[in-house]
Chains A and B, each alone.
Chain A
Amino acid sequence: MSPLRRVVVVGASLAGLRAAEALRRHGHAGELVLVGDEPHLPYDRPPLTKQFLNDGWRPEQIALPIAPGLDITWRLGVPASGLDVADHAVRLADGSLLHYDGVVLATGARARPWPGHLTPAGVHTIRGLDDAAAVAEALSRTRRLLIVGAGFLGGEVAAAARALGVAVTLVEPQELPLLAPTGPHVGRFVAALHRANGVDLHLGSRVQGFTSNGRDELTGAELTDGTHVEADLAVLALGATPNIEWLAGSGLVTDRGLVCDEHCQPLRDDRLPAPDAVAAGDVTQWPHPLAGNELISPGHWSNSVEQATAAAQTLLKPGTAPAYRPVPSFWSDLYGTRIRSVGLPHLADSSEVVDHDPAAHRLIVAYHRNGALVGALTANHTSQLVPYRAEIQRHLDSRPSRTRLVHD
């Protein structure tokens, strides 16, 4: 039985809910408070850029199931505004103070906004349910959609819009889509998918500025390649930025995320883990042996699930849980083509096409770093990932765990 009287989970999305479930499963019988900045109960985000946009899915279809008996005290619609590690307290934006015996930091990330200045009406980002609902509604009226950024999110929005018959311009500053995360082979494959599905793809080009009419409604954009694109709806898919500002002054280390050790414990300025605190999901960065123990922050669905479970175990029984060193995985669905990946392809210094069948939209790419396999990606060929994943797992298992950082 866990001695913790009250555990506060800050963040009520996938990682927060899965942490809550794992805390109960592993014996936490005390109070369990979930704090969320959105007014909604936990929901699943991947469908927001897929079925939610083009299949008419309703919010209830993406609600994450909440098992009976979790006995959660919900504090929804109020963001956390501060953390006092020494005093064991979370401050909420409404001024209230929640004392804890254990805390799970799972505040996730948000869409990166347009840098600098205001955008006209009709320019959206998608991260949450309300964002996606607004885009879904606008898609039903739009004549021409502009998407800025051809990463996974931008690509999926393009595919959803094309499924609805909406004309799409997709603008990407790199020479290929997905170049940084998955390399040139996948970039060329995905560029061909977009073009085969009628997307007007502008690579190596940026939006210089948006244009609008007298009512400040979007009419289009000027691109750095000299093109003027007409659009009455735009989606910015510029990546995500972690929600760490509320931790300013807490003494926890933040970089491009909340820096944690291999046991999901956030580190203080003195590089020791903060007592009675763990973290999980898109807000975190932690050292991974595949990356030579550099900090990684994959931001994937599966990581939120697995890291939340590991974090809960560490919180309940510090020092007993094994190091969190998963084989990461992610996926994307584009025009019916199933892109699936294991490992960390972005780390690779070389990648090779193992198989490519353009007619069947099938692809297998293997990724190496210093000669060792670090990732693999398939399109419409998931079965072929299994041996790659096993090899990465063996590679991880053969690495000794880093020295455990012990605290009181």
Chain B
Amino acid sequence: MTVIVDLNLCQSHGQCVYAAPEVFAFDEEENLTYQPEPPESQHDRVRAAVAACPVRAILVSEP
């Protein structure tokens, strides 16, 4: 699974951080950071994060 967040779309709603806190986080500057290749144990949470994002900024590709 590969994760890309369109940071131009992201408006810091934080929903992905709530859904998958081990993959998505905020840095001290309030910018979103994330793991582009999360481990399989996190994939369900990442899919939940995709569904929870109000601006559909998270793109996931699964082989």
Which A residues form the contact surface with B (CB < 8 A)? 18, 44, 46, 65, 301-302, 305-306, 309, 327, 329, 331, 333, 338, 340, 342, 380-383, 385-386, 389
Contact = CB atoms under 8 A, between A and B. Distances in A.
Contacts of B26: 382-383, 386
**What 6 A-B pairs have minimum CB-CB distances, sorted nearest first?**
A383-B26, A382-B12, A382-B14, A383-B30, A331-B13, A338-B12
A331 B54 contact: yes
A327 B18 contact: yes
A389 B18 CA distance: 8
Contacts of A305: 51-52
A338 to B, nearest CB: 6
Interface residues of B, number: 16
10 contacts: A302-B15, A305-B52, A331-B54, A338-B12, A340-B12, A340-B13, A382-B12, A382-B14, A383-B27, A386-B17
A381 B14 CA distance: 10
A170 to B, nearest CB: 23
A243 B10 CA distance: 32
B5 to A, nearest CB: 14
Nearest to B27: A383
Contacts of A44: 54
A265 to B, nearest CB: 22
Contacts of A381: 30
Contacts of B18: 327, 329, 342, 386, 389
B54 A46 contact: yes
B21 interface: yes
Contact of B54 (A301, A306, A389): A301
Contacts of B51: 18, 305, 309
Contacts of B14: 329, 340, 382-383, 385-386
Nearest to B47: A25
Interface in B1-24: 11-15, 17-18, 21
Contacts of B52: 302, 305-306
Nearest to A47: B55
A333 B54 CA distance: 13
B30 A333 contact: no
A44 B15 CA distance: 16
A338 B30 CA distance: 11
A219 B18 CA distance: 47
Contacts of B13: 331, 340, 382
Given A302-B15, A382-B13, 17 more contacts: A44-B54, A65-B56, A301-B54, A305-B51, A306-B52, A309-B51, A327-B18, A329-B18, A333-B11, A340-B12, A342-B18, A382-B14, A382-B26, A383-B27, A385-B14, A386-B14, A386-B18
Nearest to A46: B54
Given A331-B54, A338-B11, A380 B17 contact: no
A69 to B, nearest CB: 15
A387 to B, nearest CB: 11
B49 to A, nearest CB: 12
A329 B17 contact: no
Contacts of A329: 14-15, 18
